[in-house]
Amino acid sequence: MTILLKTASEVEAMRTACRLASEVLDLLTPFVKPGVTTLELDRIAHDHMTRVQGGVPATLGYQPPGYPPFPASICTSVNHQVCHGIPNERPLKNGDIVNIDVTIIKDGWHGDNSRMYVVGEGSIAAKRLCQITYEAMWKGIVKVRPGARLGDIGHAIQTFAEAAGYSVVREFCGHGVGRKFHEEPQVLHYGRPGTLEELKAGMIFTIEPMINLGRREIRELGDGWTIVTRDRSLSAQWEHTVLVTETGYEVLTLSAGSPPPPAFAQGAVATPA
C-alpha cells in the first residue's frame, strides 16, 4: 500500500479544492426545502462549480471498473438511500432527509465532502440520526494525529454510533484523496484501536461514516449506483476531508456555512498556519 504524503504546496492546493467543495454545500443549503427536486439541486451545483468556481464536478461521468458512468454532478441520497443516490425529478417532501455529496476538481486536486439536510420539519428520530452521525464523524476526526492508527478512527465512530442504538455500514469507507478521487488509505468506520496503518503528517483522507437507524445490511439498486438499507430504515452520512498535521489534524472542508463542530471537538480543531 502506497499512501501519498502531500507537500506544503500540495496541501495548499487541497485547501482550495476542499473549501470550494464546502462552499457548494453552503450555496445549496437555502434551496433544500419541500418541493425542490434533486435534479434542480444538481443543476445549481453544476453551474456554480463550472461557471463560478472554475472547477470540474468529479462525479459527472465518473466510472470505476464495473460501474456505469455516474450521470450527475452531485450525489443525492434520500431517506433510506445510503450513498451514491442519483439526482432525479422527484420533489423532496416535508420530513425527508437527504445527503448531498459534492466533489470538485480544481487545478487537478479533489475536494470531497457531504452534509445531511432535513427537509422542512423532520421527525425527532430523523433529526437525532443526522445529529448522532455528525457527532460520530467528529469522534473519528478528533482521533487524527501523527502516530495514531486508522483503527482508532473506526473504533471511535463504531462505539459511539452503536452506543446510541444505531448500526454502521461496513461496505463503504473513507479514502485518501488528492490528485485522484480515491487513493490509499481506506478509512474504515469500525474496527479496533491500535490497528491498521499509522497516521503520518501529510496524509489527507476523508472520514464519512454511514449510519443506519435500523440494521446495517445494504443492497444496490438496479441503476448500478444507488445503495439503500435492506430493511428500508433511514440512513445518514456526513463527510469531511482531513489533513494529518505535525501536531494533530486540520479539517480542509470548512467554509463560512459549515455546521460548527460539536462541543467535544471545538478545542481540538487545528487551524491553518
At 117-148, the pLDDT tens digits run 999 999 999 999 999 999 999 999 999 999 99
CB–CB of 49/109 below 8 Å? no
Q: What is the model's pLDDT at position 264?
A: 93
Count: domains in the chain: 1
Q: What is the model's pLDDT at position 69?
A: 97
Question: Minimal CA–CA distance to 162: which of 185, 194, 143, 139?
Answer: 139
Q: Flag whether 135 is in a domain.
A: yes
Q: Flag whether 2 is in a domain.
A: no
CATH code of residue 147: 3.90.230.10
Instruction: Give the angle 225-226-230 at the CA atoms, nearest 5°.
Output: 130
Q: Flag whether 84 is in a domain.
A: yes
Q: Flag whether 1 is in a domain.
A: no
Q: Flag whether 137 is in a domain.
A: yes
Q: Flag whether 272 is in a domain.
A: no
Q: pLDDT tier at 273 (50, 70, 90 boundaries)?
A: very low
The range of the structural domain enclosing residue 235 comes to 8-264
Question: Minimal CA–CA distance to 28: which of 100, 133, 82?
Answer: 100
Q: Flag whether 198 is in a domain.
A: yes
* pTM for this entry: 0.96
Whole-angstrom Cα distance, residue 20 to residue 104? 7
- Kindly report whether the peptide bond that precedes residue 71 is cis, defined as omega within 30 degrees of 0: no
Quick: pLDDT tens for 201-227. 999 999 999 999 999 999 999 999 999
Q: Position of cell 425542490?
A: 36
Q: Flag whether 273 is in a domain.
A: no
